A = this chain, B = another copy of it.
């Protein structure tokens, strides 16, 4: 059994005074004789009295905690985003309460309830992938609890958000491949129905268009394809592929494996660029070029938006699409780069 928390009434009973006298002595309001005040303070200390945090927070209407709903932590991206959030919240004296959704909508809904029940001052959320209902997020906003979306957003929810510029991230990668002389550029798409998948694919097509390279259906693969590995191998073998841009670093690593099976040297005959700058990009051989989405900055910006909204509920809608950074490592040839910049 949990031990009973010492209450103001316990102290009052012990000293035969009224609870309101104890409250005034502890909180410093109204008339209490100095002698009585000292008696009350010393007994409160002796009994280990702590102000009821919920009663206290109800008075202040603040708990100085912020809720975070995040899909999972196996991707380094989210632990970096968390670090960015913490860099802001800890400085501002806020404690984070984190719930994971595991990309499941049901768990996301439960998490919002748990965080509202814990009376957090605001919520930062990365909505789960397959989210198609937003009632629970609307309820958060209706309860007057500020909400900021990070990494993913929905047009159905009018609240501040910070996302990454996927279109330009992909465009810069494929543009680089074209500039370094690649003509047949493989693309592995991400999960269906995700805006990131769509935007990166659009960036890929736009870069090809800029360089007047035809978009070939046979060079575009789906990551969800059960035979993906075989299809990559088939493609590398039969399509004179000289460049590849993958939706993620993990998918880029599949291209490495296929190239290794076929003894196609990277970057000698094939330049590869991934996405997200996960740690594996620096561990694999050759090190992988990739698009860094600045997850730390994303988390920090989102946390700042939330604090702004907590401190000034009438603030306008702050939104931002963060620039990405193209990180070129050993998986790309730089051979014709200069030449092509002038072409």
**C-alpha spacing A283/B249, complex, angstroms:** 11
Output the nearest chain B residue to A79 by Cβ-Cβ distance.
B73
Take A2-B143, A3-B143, A90-B107 as given contacts and tell me if A97 and B76 are in contact as well, using a CB distance cutoff of 8 Å. Answer: no
Interface size on A, residues (CB 8 A): 44
A61 adjacent to B2 (CB under 8 Å): yes
Output the nearest chain B residue to A118 by Cβ-Cβ distance.
B118
**C-alpha spacing A327/B148, complex, angstroms:** 43
A111 adjacent to B95 (CB under 8 Å): yes
Q: Which residues of B contact A225 (CB under 8 A)?
A: none
Output the nearest chain B residue to A278 by Cβ-Cβ distance.
B279
Name which of A98-106, A172-180, A182-190, A214-222 contacts chain B: A98-106
B313 adjacent to A283 (CB under 8 Å): no
The reply to whether the CB of A336 lies closer than 8 angstroms to some CB of chain B is: no
In the A-B complex, list the 6 residue pairs whose CB atoms are closest, starting with the nearest.
A2-B144, A73-B73, A98-B98, A73-B79, A53-B117, A118-B118
Q: Which residues of B contact A86 (CB under 8 A)?
A: 100, 102
Interface string of A58-98 (1 = CB under 8 A from B): 00010101000000111010111011001000100001111
